[in-house]
Chain A
Amino acid sequence: MSTLTTVPRERRLRDALARAPQAWFALIFLTVVILLSLLAPLLPLDPDTTDLDAMSAPPSLEHWFGTDQLGRDYFARVVFGGRISLLVGFLAMIAATAIGALVGLVAGFAHPRIDNLLMRLVDFLSSIPWMILVIVASVFLRPGLVTIIIVIGGFTWMTTARLVRAETLSVKERAYVGYSGYIGERAPRIVGRHILPDALPTILVAATTNISQAMMTEASLSFLGVGIQQPMASWGSLLQTAQGSLQQLPHLALIPGLLIMATVFSFNALGNTLRRYLSRGA
């Protein structure tokens, strides 16, 4: 193992990528999707204009992904739907990762009694199937973009908390953490300066899992009609609409699903490559 640590970081990253061709696919695919989503308002794309000459049209040169029943360009709708899907995914991931990391750090570092209390809370929340939990929560709040981000972020942080707590418990035993306590540094400073940097790789890997999970959850909820509401559209709610015309226009259902699949696959692949890279580097 000692020889590996002398290899420069960039080379190790390149090695990890070379061993995982799917990670290259993931990087390229995500870059394209994220760029398209960010630049969508600047591009000549309008998801609401109707083309009355081409209603329910199959894919063509003019309309790359065809049009829907109202003659709206499906490529534009898919790009704008992707903006919502990615936005929900990113924000819910940030919420879940932040809550999970905070709970994990506090539980791992604080008094065992607080640790016990927090972990019972994690057990309690984990004991309700996520779908039931999220649907119940979305019933008590008004459905919409903000609600779905709160609901997904607020109820999917438990795995992250468990991972970060375990990491904190092991980092806490290291000599420099004990020393900083000995010279009288305060707990928040010790956690921020010494434990957080060591737990960061774990948090990063958890974040990639969280984002793909958040996007999948959003898609399921929107498909079931309890997520993103009209007139806003995400990939999940595009699929809900497409279900009605599945027999006549199967491409309306095919495209958003393929994109969800490729995006989730890419985030998972990046997470796995990252984990492998970090565990070799440790």
Chain B
Amino acid sequence: MALYIGRRLLQVIPMLLLISLVVFLMIQAAPYDVVDSITTPNMSAETIEIIRQRYGLDDPVLVQYFRWLGNVLQGDLGYSLVSQYSISADLAAKIPNTVILVVPAYLTALALAIGLGLWAGANHGRRIDRFIDGASAIGLATPPFWFALLVIYLFGYYLNWFPIIGMHTVGQDDLIDLLRHFVMPYLVLTVAFAPELLRYVRSSTVSQLREDYVLVQRAFGASRAEIFRNHVSRNVLLPIVTQIGVALPLLVTGAIITETIFGWPGVGPYFLTATKSLDYPVILAILLLSATLVIVGNLIADILYVLVDPRVRLERSRS
């Protein structure tokens, strides 16, 4: 087990280094840099040169890369070209807002997906299955931002139940106010997450029911409900544990569009504002962060998979 984790870590590290190198080179290739953003046209060439030296921008590229990497490893992601604020500090303020929106929505979507997916899979081919499958196909085809507009129109304008923008009303920061702002983005995000998870649960239920062990159990006289409860549902639910790893990057980038529509002060609006003002360090910091989370998330998923399912160990020789 330790060996397996060790070997996977060895695969992950070069990948992370490669991504950091690509991100660094993209910062280098960007049409302007930090110095351009703090110098003014009436500074003399010598002054600009001194600033360049102070920032170490006249060093060889590799030296700059390792200095940058050292800073990143210490949690220093550099500074925004527009506001001059520390990107790490900005992200530390934004990420919690994204997390409190994404986590409840994802957990609700997962619970819905497991419940409905098992229900549909157990009744494969019947009316209820076709209904649930059709609903998830429609959900999959619905653009989340369009659904957000419908929700805003219905609950925000027409019924006037919930505020349509932001996280707090100015001057009010009690829990009730937060919840009122939370309902609509949460609903939109849940609907955005659920269909894909639901398809996954349903199709793995259907394929588990075709396994030989179901036939054997039937032959030994077990009832359908017993087989389903004791064997099928467990085999379906075990691999879902690994989804925790796969979902890790959602904590940062899971709600970019939804947050932007609802003016929720998370990573999404921060990222898009940076995109529109060509704030390269911010854009690339988020790129680096989300790619790292994907890689680490996949690592966690693989390790969890080995932990929860002892059969996987048999396949070690193949990997």
A and B bound?
A: yes
Complex Cα distance A220/B253, Å? 14
Please name the 7 residue pairs, one residue from A and one from B, whose CB atoms are nearest each other, closest first. A257-B146, A265-B141, A264-B141, A127-B294, A128-B291, A247-B157, A253-B149
If A129-B290, A132-B253, A226-B275 touch, whether A246 touches B143 (CB-CB below 8 Å) is no
Chain B positions within 8 Å of A219 at CB level: 143, 145
Partner of B143, one of A123, A136, A254, A260: A260
Closest approach, in angstroms, between the C-beta of A18 and any C-beta of chain B? 14
Chain A positions within 8 Å of B287 at CB level: 128, 132-133, 136
Q: Which of B72-80, B100-108, B276-284 contacts A (4 or more CB under 8 A)?
A: B276-284
How many residues of chain A get a CB closer than 8 Å to chain B's CBs?
A: 40
Q: Is the CB of B19 within 8 A of A261?
A: no
Tell me the A residues contacting B by CB distance below 8 Å: 22, 123-124, 126-129, 131-133, 135-136, 139-140, 212, 216, 219-220, 223-226, 236, 239, 242-243, 246-247, 250, 253-254, 256-257, 260-262, 264-265, 268-269
Q: B38 contacts the other chain (Cβ, under 8 Å)?
A: no
Chain A positions within 8 Å of B275 at CB level: 135, 139, 226
If A212-B141, A257-B149 touch, whether A224 touches B253 (CB-CB below 8 Å) is no
Chain A positions within 8 Å of B30 at CB level: 140
How many residues of chain B get a CB closer than 8 Å to chain A's CBs?
A: 41
Tell me the B residues contacting A by CB distance below 8 Å: 15, 18-19, 26, 29-30, 134, 137-138, 140-143, 145-147, 149-150, 152-153, 157, 249, 253, 256-257, 260-261, 271-272, 275-276, 278, 283-284, 286-287, 290-291, 294-295, 298
Complex Cα distance A140/B31, Å? 9
Q: Is the CB of A253 within 8 A of B146?
A: yes
Closest approach, in angstroms, between the C-beta of B273 and any C-beta of chain A? 11
Given A136-B283, A139-B275, output 16 extra A-B contacts at Cβ < 8 Å: A123-B15, A124-B15, A127-B291, A128-B290, A129-B249, A131-B257, A136-B287, A139-B283, A220-B143, A220-B145, A226-B276, A236-B143, A239-B143, A261-B141, A261-B146, A265-B138
Complex Cα distance A256/B143, Å? 11
Chain B positions within 8 Å of A212 at CB level: 141
Closest approach, in angstroms, between the C-beta of A123 and any C-beta of chain B? 7
Closest approach, in angstroms, between the C-beta of A232 and any C-beta of chain B? 19
If A129-B253, A136-B283, A224-B272 touch, whether A250 touches B15 (CB-CB below 8 Å) is no
Partner of A128, one of B147, B260, B294: B294
Chain B positions within 8 Å of A224 at CB level: 257, 260, 272
Q: Which residue of B lies closest to A254 (CB)?
A: B150
Complex Cα distance A72/B147, Å? 25
Partner of B149, one of A129, A136, A243: A243
Q: Which residue of A lies closest to B256 (CB)?
A: A131
Q: Which residue of B lies closest to A243 (CB)?
A: B149
What are 25 residue pairs bridging A and B, where the CB atoms are less than 8 Å apart in the complex? A22-B137, A124-B15, A124-B18, A129-B249, A129-B290, A131-B257, A132-B287, A136-B26, A136-B283, A136-B284, A140-B26, A140-B30, A212-B141, A219-B143, A223-B143, A224-B260, A226-B275, A226-B276, A243-B149, A246-B152, A246-B157, A250-B153, A253-B153, A260-B141, A261-B143
Chain A positions within 8 Å of B256 at CB level: 131
